[in-house]
Amino acid sequence: MSVPKKKRTKASKGKRRSHHALKEVQLGICPKCKKPVLPHSVCENCGTYRGREEIKVKTVAKK
pLDDT digits (tens, 9 = 90+) for 7-52: 999 999 999 999 999 999 999 999 888 999 999 999 988 888 987 7
Question: For the whole prediction, is pTM greater than 0.85?
Answer: no
Residue 44's pLDDT is: 87
Question: Helix/strand/coil (H, E, C) string of the chain?
Answer: CCCCCCCCCHHHHHHHHHHCCCCCCCCEECCCCCCEECCCCCCCCCCEECCEECCCCCCCCCC
Residue 56's pLDDT is: 81
Residue 45's pLDDT is: 85
Read off the pLDDT band of 62 (50, 70, 90): low
Q: Give me the residue spans of the domains in the chain.
A: 25-57
